[in-house]
Amino acid sequence: MDLTGRVLGARYRLLRQLGQGGMATIYEAEHVEIGKRVAVKVLTQARCEDTARRFLQEARAASQLRHEHIIDVTDYGRDEVAGEPLAYLVMEQLEGEDLAVTLEQDGPLRWTRVLAIGKQICRALIAAHDQNIVHCDIKPANCFRILRGDTADFIKVLDFGVASFACKRTGRVTPDPVPADSEDASGGRRKSGPRLGTPGYMAGELLSGGSYDHRVDIYALGVLMYRLLTNKMPYPAARLYAAGDGSGAVAGNAAGNATGNKAGNVAAANGAMSEAPAPFPMRRAIPTLEISPEFEAVVLKALAHEPGQRHASARALLAALEAAEAASLRASPLPRDPLSWGGTVEHEPLARSPEDSSSMSQTEVSRAAFAAHSSSSGLQRTAPDYSPSGSWQSLRRAQATAYREGMRGAPALPGLLIRAALALVVTTVLVRVAWTLLV
Protein backbone atom coordinates (compact mmCIF):
# COMPACT_ATOMS: atom_id res chain seq x y z
CA MET A 1 0.00 0.00 0.00
CA ASP A 2 1.49 3.31 -1.14
CA LEU A 3 0.96 6.02 1.47
CA THR A 4 2.39 8.90 -0.56
CA GLY A 5 0.45 12.08 0.18
CA ARG A 6 -0.83 10.90 3.56
CA VAL A 7 -0.19 12.82 6.77
CA LEU A 8 0.87 10.69 9.74
CA GLY A 9 0.30 11.81 13.29
CA ALA A 10 -1.01 15.15 11.98
CA ARG A 11 2.65 16.15 11.57
CA TYR A 12 4.47 14.33 8.76
CA ARG A 13 3.36 14.49 5.12
CA LEU A 14 4.75 11.60 3.09
CA LEU A 15 6.19 12.90 -0.20
CA ARG A 16 7.67 9.87 -1.98
CA GLN A 17 8.99 6.37 -1.39
CA LEU A 18 12.72 6.00 -0.80
CA GLY A 19 12.88 2.25 -0.27
CA GLN A 20 10.89 -0.79 0.69
CA GLY A 21 11.69 -3.90 2.73
CA GLY A 22 9.85 -6.96 3.89
CA MET A 23 8.09 -5.29 6.81
CA ALA A 24 8.48 -1.53 6.38
CA THR A 25 8.65 1.22 3.79
CA ILE A 26 10.77 4.36 4.02
CA TYR A 27 9.38 7.66 2.75
CA GLU A 28 10.75 11.12 2.28
CA ALA A 29 8.51 13.40 4.32
CA GLU A 30 8.24 16.92 5.65
CA HIS A 31 6.93 18.36 8.87
CA VAL A 32 3.69 20.13 8.01
CA GLU A 33 4.36 23.02 10.41
CA ILE A 34 8.06 23.84 10.02
CA GLY A 35 8.73 22.24 6.62
CA LYS A 36 11.75 20.20 7.77
CA ARG A 37 12.58 17.25 5.52
CA VAL A 38 12.89 13.91 7.28
CA ALA A 39 12.82 10.19 6.51
CA VAL A 40 9.87 8.21 7.89
CA LYS A 41 10.00 4.43 8.27
CA VAL A 42 6.45 3.07 8.21
CA LEU A 43 5.52 -0.36 9.56
CA THR A 44 2.30 -1.50 7.92
CA GLN A 45 2.14 -4.87 9.74
CA ALA A 46 1.44 -3.30 13.11
CA ARG A 47 -1.22 -5.91 13.89
CA CYS A 48 1.52 -8.51 14.30
CA GLU A 49 2.53 -8.25 17.95
CA ASP A 50 6.05 -9.62 17.46
CA THR A 51 6.78 -7.35 14.49
CA ALA A 52 5.43 -4.29 16.32
CA ARG A 53 7.55 -5.16 19.37
CA ARG A 54 10.74 -5.33 17.27
CA PHE A 55 9.84 -2.03 15.60
CA LEU A 56 9.41 -0.37 18.98
CA GLN A 57 12.68 -1.92 20.13
CA GLU A 58 14.41 -0.35 17.13
CA ALA A 59 12.97 3.04 18.07
CA ARG A 60 14.13 2.69 21.67
CA ALA A 61 17.63 1.52 20.75
CA ALA A 62 18.27 4.19 18.14
CA SER A 63 16.76 7.00 20.20
CA GLN A 64 19.15 6.28 23.09
CA LEU A 65 22.18 6.85 20.86
CA ARG A 66 23.49 10.28 20.00
CA HIS A 67 26.56 9.87 17.85
CA GLU A 68 27.74 11.40 14.60
CA HIS A 69 28.14 7.95 12.98
CA ILE A 70 24.67 6.68 13.97
CA ILE A 71 21.50 7.84 12.26
CA ASP A 72 19.50 10.20 14.46
CA VAL A 73 15.96 9.04 15.35
CA THR A 74 13.75 11.94 16.40
CA ASP A 75 10.20 10.61 16.80
CA TYR A 76 7.99 7.54 17.02
CA GLY A 77 4.23 7.22 16.72
CA ARG A 78 1.18 5.18 15.76
CA ASP A 79 -1.61 5.99 13.35
CA GLU A 80 -4.37 4.34 11.37
CA VAL A 81 -4.94 4.45 7.61
CA ALA A 82 -8.06 2.95 6.01
CA GLY A 83 -8.79 1.07 9.22
CA GLU A 84 -5.34 -0.51 9.35
CA PRO A 85 -3.03 0.31 12.27
CA LEU A 86 0.53 1.31 11.52
CA ALA A 87 3.59 2.51 13.37
CA TYR A 88 6.22 4.93 12.13
CA LEU A 89 9.72 6.00 12.99
CA VAL A 90 11.08 9.48 12.09
CA MET A 91 14.78 9.81 11.26
CA GLU A 92 17.15 12.34 9.78
CA GLN A 93 17.17 12.35 6.00
CA LEU A 94 20.47 11.25 4.45
CA GLU A 95 21.73 12.00 0.94
CA GLY A 96 24.08 9.36 -0.36
CA GLU A 97 24.21 5.58 -0.73
CA ASP A 98 24.80 2.50 1.37
CA LEU A 99 28.04 0.55 1.16
CA ALA A 100 26.31 -2.26 -0.76
CA VAL A 101 25.79 0.17 -3.65
CA THR A 102 29.34 1.54 -3.27
CA LEU A 103 30.73 -2.00 -3.40
CA GLU A 104 28.69 -2.80 -6.50
CA GLN A 105 29.85 0.36 -8.28
CA ASP A 106 33.45 0.74 -7.04
CA GLY A 107 34.45 -2.56 -5.47
CA PRO A 108 36.71 -3.99 -4.41
CA LEU A 109 37.83 -0.92 -2.47
CA ARG A 110 41.39 0.18 -1.74
CA TRP A 111 42.54 -0.98 1.70
CA THR A 112 43.19 2.50 3.09
CA ARG A 113 39.62 3.43 2.25
CA VAL A 114 38.28 0.30 3.96
CA LEU A 115 40.38 1.04 7.03
CA ALA A 116 38.94 4.56 7.27
CA ILE A 117 35.40 3.18 6.93
CA GLY A 118 36.09 0.50 9.55
CA LYS A 119 37.28 3.06 12.08
CA GLN A 120 34.06 5.05 11.74
CA ILE A 121 31.86 1.97 12.20
CA CYS A 122 33.97 1.06 15.24
CA ARG A 123 33.20 4.43 16.81
CA ALA A 124 29.49 3.86 16.23
CA LEU A 125 29.71 0.42 17.85
CA ILE A 126 31.56 1.85 20.83
CA ALA A 127 28.68 4.27 21.42
CA ALA A 128 26.11 1.46 21.08
CA HIS A 129 27.96 -1.03 23.28
CA ASP A 130 28.43 1.60 25.97
CA GLN A 131 24.62 1.67 26.17
CA ASN A 132 24.51 -2.17 26.28
CA ILE A 133 23.03 -2.26 22.76
CA VAL A 134 24.24 -4.97 20.37
CA HIS A 135 23.42 -4.10 16.76
CA CYS A 136 23.38 -7.74 15.48
CA ASP A 137 23.11 -6.76 11.80
CA ILE A 138 26.24 -4.89 10.70
CA LYS A 139 26.49 -5.28 6.91
CA PRO A 140 27.10 -3.04 3.86
CA ALA A 141 23.40 -2.27 3.38
CA ASN A 142 23.16 -0.93 6.95
CA CYS A 143 26.13 1.42 6.66
CA PHE A 144 25.26 4.58 4.76
CA ARG A 145 27.88 6.72 3.01
CA ILE A 146 27.29 10.46 2.78
CA LEU A 147 29.27 13.57 1.86
CA ARG A 148 30.04 15.71 4.90
CA GLY A 149 32.40 18.65 4.54
CA ASP A 150 35.49 17.40 2.74
CA THR A 151 34.79 13.76 3.63
CA ALA A 152 33.20 11.73 0.86
CA ASP A 153 33.10 8.53 2.94
CA PHE A 154 31.36 9.72 6.08
CA ILE A 155 29.54 6.68 7.48
CA LYS A 156 26.19 6.48 9.28
CA VAL A 157 25.13 3.17 10.84
CA LEU A 158 21.45 2.39 10.24
CA ASP A 159 18.73 -0.10 11.16
CA PHE A 160 18.64 -1.23 14.77
CA GLY A 161 15.60 -3.38 13.97
CA VAL A 162 17.18 -6.62 15.23
CA ALA A 163 19.32 -5.00 17.93
CA SER A 164 19.42 -6.59 21.38
CA PHE A 165 19.82 -5.14 24.85
CA ALA A 166 22.57 -6.85 26.82
CA CYS A 167 22.43 -7.43 30.56
CA LYS A 168 24.18 -4.56 32.34
CA ARG A 169 25.75 -6.93 34.85
CA THR A 170 27.02 -9.68 32.52
CA GLY A 171 27.14 -7.85 29.21
CA ARG A 172 25.47 -10.83 27.52
CA VAL A 173 22.21 -11.30 25.65
CA THR A 174 20.06 -14.30 26.56
CA PRO A 175 17.67 -15.27 23.77
CA ASP A 176 13.96 -15.52 24.38
CA PRO A 177 12.72 -19.15 24.55
CA VAL A 178 10.02 -20.40 22.26
CA PRO A 179 6.57 -21.14 23.76
CA ALA A 180 6.32 -24.07 26.16
CA ASP A 181 4.28 -26.20 23.75
CA SER A 182 6.99 -26.18 21.07
CA GLU A 183 9.21 -29.00 22.34
CA ASP A 184 10.86 -31.10 19.66
CA ALA A 185 9.64 -34.57 18.77
CA SER A 186 12.18 -36.29 21.03
CA GLY A 187 11.04 -34.29 24.05
CA GLY A 188 14.39 -32.61 24.33
CA ARG A 189 15.15 -29.17 25.71
CA ARG A 190 13.49 -26.30 23.91
CA LYS A 191 15.78 -24.10 21.89
CA SER A 192 15.52 -20.36 21.49
CA GLY A 193 13.50 -18.84 18.71
CA PRO A 194 14.98 -18.13 15.29
CA ARG A 195 17.57 -15.38 15.14
CA LEU A 196 17.04 -12.40 12.89
CA GLY A 197 19.97 -11.09 10.91
CA THR A 198 21.87 -11.60 7.69
CA PRO A 199 23.51 -15.00 7.06
CA GLY A 200 27.19 -14.57 6.34
CA TYR A 201 27.52 -11.69 8.79
CA MET A 202 26.21 -13.62 11.81
CA ALA A 203 28.78 -15.12 14.17
CA GLY A 204 28.53 -18.80 15.08
CA GLU A 205 27.26 -18.13 18.60
CA LEU A 206 24.52 -15.92 17.16
CA LEU A 207 23.43 -18.64 14.73
CA SER A 208 23.56 -21.48 17.24
CA GLY A 209 20.84 -20.03 19.49
CA GLY A 210 22.84 -19.62 22.68
CA SER A 211 23.70 -16.46 24.56
CA TYR A 212 26.05 -13.94 22.99
CA ASP A 213 27.58 -10.53 23.56
CA HIS A 214 28.92 -7.47 21.72
CA ARG A 215 31.58 -9.54 19.95
CA VAL A 216 29.03 -10.63 17.36
CA ASP A 217 29.28 -7.06 16.06
CA ILE A 218 33.10 -7.39 15.96
CA TYR A 219 32.71 -10.48 13.79
CA ALA A 220 30.19 -8.80 11.48
CA LEU A 221 32.48 -5.79 11.01
CA GLY A 222 35.33 -8.18 10.15
CA VAL A 223 33.15 -9.78 7.45
CA LEU A 224 32.17 -6.34 6.17
CA MET A 225 35.80 -5.19 5.84
CA TYR A 226 36.78 -8.47 4.16
CA ARG A 227 33.89 -8.06 1.72
CA LEU A 228 34.81 -4.47 0.87
CA LEU A 229 38.42 -5.53 0.25
CA THR A 230 37.69 -8.55 -1.95
CA ASN A 231 34.01 -8.38 -2.95
CA LYS A 232 33.79 -11.96 -1.65
CA MET A 233 32.67 -13.60 1.58
CA PRO A 234 35.32 -15.08 3.88
CA TYR A 235 33.52 -18.39 4.51
CA PRO A 236 31.52 -20.77 2.30
CA ALA A 237 27.75 -20.85 2.70
CA ALA A 238 27.83 -24.46 3.96
CA ARG A 239 29.63 -23.33 7.15
CA LEU A 240 26.78 -20.98 7.99
CA TYR A 241 24.16 -23.71 8.03
CA ALA A 242 26.46 -26.13 9.87
CA ALA A 243 26.90 -23.55 12.62
CA GLY A 244 23.19 -22.75 12.67
CA ASP A 245 21.91 -26.32 13.08
CA GLY A 246 24.66 -27.36 15.50
CA SER A 247 25.82 -30.29 13.35
CA GLY A 248 29.42 -29.46 14.06
CA ALA A 249 28.92 -30.21 17.74
CA VAL A 250 28.32 -33.94 17.31
CA ALA A 251 31.88 -34.84 18.23
CA GLY A 252 31.71 -32.60 21.29
CA ASN A 253 28.48 -34.23 22.44
CA ALA A 254 30.05 -37.66 22.11
CA ALA A 255 33.01 -36.57 24.19
CA GLY A 256 30.75 -35.10 26.85
CA ASN A 257 28.66 -38.28 27.11
CA ALA A 258 31.72 -40.51 27.26
CA THR A 259 33.64 -38.64 29.92
CA GLY A 260 30.89 -36.78 31.73
CA ASN A 261 33.25 -33.91 32.40
CA LYS A 262 32.93 -30.18 31.90
CA ALA A 263 35.49 -30.13 29.09
CA GLY A 264 33.27 -32.39 27.03
CA ASN A 265 30.31 -30.08 27.52
CA VAL A 266 32.37 -27.09 26.44
CA ALA A 267 33.46 -29.02 23.36
CA ALA A 268 29.82 -29.81 22.63
CA ALA A 269 28.85 -26.15 22.86
CA ASN A 270 31.73 -24.92 20.71
CA GLY A 271 32.27 -27.92 18.43
CA ALA A 272 30.80 -26.22 15.38
CA MET A 273 33.08 -23.20 15.69
CA SER A 274 36.26 -25.05 16.68
CA GLU A 275 36.18 -27.30 13.61
CA ALA A 276 35.25 -24.60 11.13
CA PRO A 277 37.70 -23.79 8.30
CA ALA A 278 39.87 -20.71 8.19
CA PRO A 279 38.75 -17.66 6.16
CA PHE A 280 39.43 -17.83 2.44
CA PRO A 281 42.82 -16.10 1.91
CA MET A 282 42.44 -12.54 0.64
CA ARG A 283 45.33 -12.85 -1.81
CA ARG A 284 43.70 -15.87 -3.42
CA ALA A 285 40.50 -13.89 -3.80
CA ILE A 286 42.46 -11.02 -5.43
CA PRO A 287 46.03 -12.09 -6.38
CA THR A 288 47.15 -8.49 -6.98
CA LEU A 289 45.67 -7.19 -3.73
CA GLU A 290 47.88 -4.60 -2.04
CA ILE A 291 47.19 -4.44 1.68
CA SER A 292 49.13 -3.64 4.81
CA PRO A 293 50.07 -6.89 6.61
CA GLU A 294 49.08 -5.25 9.90
CA PHE A 295 45.61 -4.36 8.60
CA GLU A 296 45.13 -7.84 7.15
CA ALA A 297 45.94 -9.35 10.56
CA VAL A 298 43.38 -7.06 12.24
CA VAL A 299 40.62 -8.19 9.84
CA LEU A 300 41.45 -11.88 10.25
CA LYS A 301 41.41 -11.60 14.05
CA ALA A 302 37.94 -10.05 13.92
CA LEU A 303 36.82 -13.08 11.86
CA ALA A 304 37.86 -15.64 14.48
CA HIS A 305 35.20 -18.28 15.20
CA GLU A 306 35.83 -18.32 18.92
CA PRO A 307 34.62 -15.06 20.54
CA GLY A 308 37.61 -15.11 22.90
CA GLN A 309 40.01 -15.00 19.94
CA ARG A 310 38.46 -11.86 18.48
CA HIS A 311 39.17 -8.32 19.57
CA ALA A 312 37.86 -7.94 23.10
CA SER A 313 35.78 -4.85 22.32
CA ALA A 314 35.05 -2.25 19.67
CA ARG A 315 37.58 0.00 21.43
CA ALA A 316 40.24 -2.70 21.09
CA LEU A 317 39.40 -3.11 17.40
CA LEU A 318 39.60 0.65 16.85
CA ALA A 319 43.00 0.76 18.58
CA ALA A 320 44.21 -2.11 16.36
CA LEU A 321 43.04 -0.30 13.23
CA GLU A 322 44.78 2.90 14.29
CA ALA A 323 47.96 0.96 15.04
CA ALA A 324 47.85 -0.68 11.61
CA GLU A 325 47.41 2.74 10.01
CA ALA A 326 50.35 4.16 11.97
CA ALA A 327 52.54 1.19 11.02
CA SER A 328 51.85 1.76 7.32
CA LEU A 329 52.85 5.41 7.65
CA ARG A 330 56.09 4.50 9.43
CA ALA A 331 56.93 2.15 6.54
CA SER A 332 56.23 4.92 4.01
CA PRO A 333 59.08 5.90 1.60
CA LEU A 334 57.77 9.47 1.41
CA PRO A 335 61.01 11.28 2.51
CA ARG A 336 62.99 9.57 -0.26
CA ASP A 337 60.45 9.61 -3.07
CA PRO A 338 61.61 12.22 -5.63
CA LEU A 339 59.39 10.72 -8.33
CA SER A 340 56.27 12.16 -6.72
CA TRP A 341 57.43 14.83 -4.29
CA GLY A 342 60.33 16.59 -6.06
CA GLY A 343 62.85 15.74 -3.34
CA THR A 344 66.43 14.55 -3.66
CA VAL A 345 67.54 10.96 -3.52
CA GLU A 346 69.21 10.04 -0.25
CA HIS A 347 72.07 7.57 -0.25
CA GLU A 348 69.88 4.54 0.43
CA PRO A 349 69.07 1.49 -1.71
CA LEU A 350 66.24 2.16 -4.12
CA ALA A 351 65.04 -1.42 -4.37
CA ARG A 352 62.35 -2.51 -1.94
CA SER A 353 61.83 -5.94 -0.49
CA PRO A 354 58.66 -7.91 -1.34
CA GLU A 355 57.45 -7.34 2.21
CA ASP A 356 57.75 -3.57 1.85
CA SER A 357 55.83 -3.64 -1.43
CA SER A 358 52.68 -4.72 0.38
CA SER A 359 52.69 -1.59 2.53
CA MET A 360 51.09 1.55 1.18
CA SER A 361 53.20 4.69 0.89
CA GLN A 362 52.26 8.14 2.04
CA THR A 363 52.13 9.12 -1.63
CA GLU A 364 49.32 6.62 -2.24
CA VAL A 365 47.56 7.75 0.92
CA SER A 366 47.66 11.34 -0.31
CA ARG A 367 46.39 10.38 -3.75
CA ALA A 368 43.50 8.40 -2.24
CA ALA A 369 42.67 11.30 0.06
CA PHE A 370 42.75 13.78 -2.81
CA ALA A 371 40.52 11.54 -4.92
CA ALA A 372 38.03 11.23 -2.05
CA HIS A 373 38.05 14.92 -1.13
CA SER A 374 38.23 16.61 -4.52
CA SER A 375 34.52 16.24 -5.29
CA SER A 376 32.33 19.09 -4.10
CA SER A 377 29.14 18.09 -5.90
CA GLY A 378 28.49 14.69 -4.37
CA LEU A 379 29.81 11.19 -3.82
CA GLN A 380 32.71 10.30 -6.08
CA ARG A 381 33.59 6.96 -7.59
CA THR A 382 37.11 5.86 -6.76
CA ALA A 383 37.36 2.41 -8.30
CA PRO A 384 40.92 1.10 -7.88
CA ASP A 385 43.13 -0.40 -10.59
CA TYR A 386 44.18 -3.86 -9.39
CA SER A 387 45.96 -4.90 -12.60
CA PRO A 388 49.74 -5.49 -12.29
CA SER A 389 50.45 -2.80 -14.85
CA GLY A 390 48.33 -0.32 -12.92
CA SER A 391 49.98 -0.94 -9.57
CA TRP A 392 51.77 2.10 -8.18
CA GLN A 393 54.23 -0.12 -6.33
CA SER A 394 55.03 -2.07 -9.53
CA LEU A 395 55.70 1.16 -11.41
CA ARG A 396 58.01 2.46 -8.72
CA ARG A 397 59.93 -0.82 -8.51
CA ALA A 398 60.42 -0.82 -12.30
CA GLN A 399 61.67 2.78 -12.24
CA ALA A 400 64.04 2.02 -9.38
CA THR A 401 65.45 -1.03 -11.17
CA ALA A 402 66.00 0.91 -14.42
CA TYR A 403 67.75 3.72 -12.58
CA ARG A 404 70.00 1.30 -10.70
CA GLU A 405 70.95 -0.62 -13.86
CA GLY A 406 71.69 2.58 -15.71
CA MET A 407 73.91 3.91 -12.95
CA ARG A 408 75.77 0.61 -12.68
CA GLY A 409 77.32 0.86 -16.19
CA ALA A 410 77.69 4.63 -16.36
CA PRO A 411 81.21 6.17 -16.19
CA ALA A 412 82.18 8.65 -13.51
CA LEU A 413 81.15 12.27 -14.04
CA PRO A 414 84.72 13.76 -14.19
CA GLY A 415 85.67 11.26 -16.91
CA LEU A 416 82.69 12.34 -19.00
CA LEU A 417 83.67 16.01 -18.75
CA ILE A 418 87.29 15.29 -19.78
CA ARG A 419 86.18 13.25 -22.78
CA ALA A 420 83.77 15.95 -23.89
CA ALA A 421 86.47 18.65 -23.62
CA LEU A 422 88.98 16.61 -25.66
CA ALA A 423 86.39 15.95 -28.32
CA LEU A 424 85.61 19.68 -28.54
CA VAL A 425 89.34 20.57 -28.94
CA VAL A 426 89.90 17.95 -31.62
CA THR A 427 86.84 19.07 -33.53
CA THR A 428 87.94 22.72 -33.40
CA VAL A 429 91.46 21.88 -34.74
CA LEU A 430 90.05 19.82 -37.57
CA VAL A 431 87.68 22.59 -38.60
CA ARG A 432 90.50 25.19 -38.66
CA VAL A 433 92.76 22.91 -40.75
CA ALA A 434 90.02 22.22 -43.23
CA TRP A 435 89.20 25.94 -43.56
CA THR A 436 92.89 26.80 -44.19
CA LEU A 437 93.21 24.19 -46.90
CA LEU A 438 90.10 25.36 -48.67
CA VAL A 439 91.11 29.04 -48.62
Q: Indicate whether 345 pLDDT > 70.
A: no
Would the CATH topology of 7-92 be identical to that of 96-178+188-235+277-330? Answer: no
Residues 6+ apart with CB under 8 A from 264: 252, 255, 256, 257, 258
Q: What is the pTM of this model?
A: 0.68
Q: What is the pLDDT of residues 300-330, one digit of tens each?
A: 999 999 999 999 999 999 999 999 999 988 7
159 belongs to the catalytic site: no
- Among the listed residues 98, 137, 159, 213, the single catalytic one is 137
Nearby residues of 312 by Cβ (< 8 Å), 6 or more positions away = 215
**What radius of gyration, in Å, describes the C-alpha atoms of the chain?**
30
3-class state of residue 375 by DSSP: coil
165: pLDDT strictly greater than 60: yes
Q: What is the pLDDT of residues 100-150, one digit of tens each?
A: 999 999 989 999 999 999 999 999 999 999 999 999 999 999 999 999 988
Sequence spans of domains, the chain: 7-92, 96-178+188-235+277-330
Superfamily in which the 96-178+188-235+277-330 domain is placed by CATH: Transferase(Phosphotransferase) domain 1 (1.10.510.10)
- CB burial of 224-238 (b: ≥16 within 10 Å; e: otherwise) equals bbbbbbbeebbbeee
CATH fold, domain 7-92, is Phosphorylase Kinase; domain 1 (3.30.200)
What span, in angstroms and rounded, lies between the C-alpha atoms of 207 and 140? 19
Query: For residue 54, is pLDDT > 50?
Result: yes
Average pLDDT over every residue of 369-391: 47
- DSSP characters over 103-169: HHHHPSPPHHHHHHHHHHHHHHHHHHHHTTEE----SGGGEEEEEETTEEEEEEE---TT-EEPPTT
